[in-house]
Structure 1
Amino acid sequence: MNFYFSGIFVKGLTCISLLGLVACEPVTMLPNTSIPLRNPTAPIASQVDVTVERMNGDWQVVSGAGIAVGSHLTITDSLILIDGVEQSFVPSGPGRFKLGGEDIWVHWLDINNRTAALGNPDGARVWIMDRQGNPGERLNAARKILNWYGYDLNRLK
């Protein structure tokens, strides 16, 4: 019985010692990073028939993150004005543009060029814009496309 008790005592001390060692390990802090708006493991594509000519004109942001809802955009052949601030807007591939130095892909543009869903494939920003500011049912279509491409719709305003 004494042997049994001392065995339990030794095992108990061993467990306590091990717990103490684990508790003494330094805690590693992760670096502060912003969480992207898009799941990087989701599929992604741009709409290949979108040209700068289809994008030219006036737009209003109706939903988004990383760009203010209500922003007025004017797109020309090589520029974009966002609330009066001019930046370059140059085609970089089918349905793909460089906004300043940032990649922006057109994920969806309706057949009549009235509503578009755009985003940065890295997840820095995403938005839905409309020519009249009232996309109706096209808003649901744009949201479904963005959801399919892994954007977090809960973070859109």
Structure 2
Amino acid sequence: MTLQNFTTWLYATPFASTIRDVPWIIPAIQSIHILAITIVVGSALVSDLRLAGVFATDAMPNVVIRRYLRWMWIALVVLLITGGLMATGEPDRVLTNTTFWLKMSLIVAACLLTWFFRRPLLHPGFHLEHARWRPFVKPAAWLSLAVWVCVIFCGRWIAYTI
């Protein structure tokens, strides 16, 4: 099955029709999606700025990471669900859009950065100042923020690109 065949089939499903036809569904899903992105990016912002040594420098990095990482992952799940629902409503506009796939690639990259640079900090005995990869933490934090900003821009551009 080609992507075009899949989007045609998905568009014709009763579930996709309901998403498109009930006037309040898309605005409600978009609102939840936007709230979830603010939680994800807000959590990334606080965590990454701490790892970059710019914000909350009086707190241990592992404390800041532990406080925000859980919210980040929960909101990311909400983002994936709401994004999937929006894509289901208009699969031909979304799933065939290169900006959408760029956004998905950037989300994977941001999640990998988050996973690899924050996960060790969750272990009670871990001390960032003794880590061999400590010189890479600040650049990775700034890169993570840049990637999340690009995700937001791509999300907006999906509506304006084909």
Q: Which has the larger radius of gyration?
A: 1
The interval holding the TM-score normalised by the smaller chain is under 0.3
What TM-score, normalized by structure 2, do the two folds share? 0.23
Higher strand share: 1
Larger RCO: Structure 1 or Structure 2 (Cα < 8 Å, ≥ 6 residues apart)?
2
Higher helix share: 2
What TM-score, normalized by structure 1, do the two folds share? 0.24
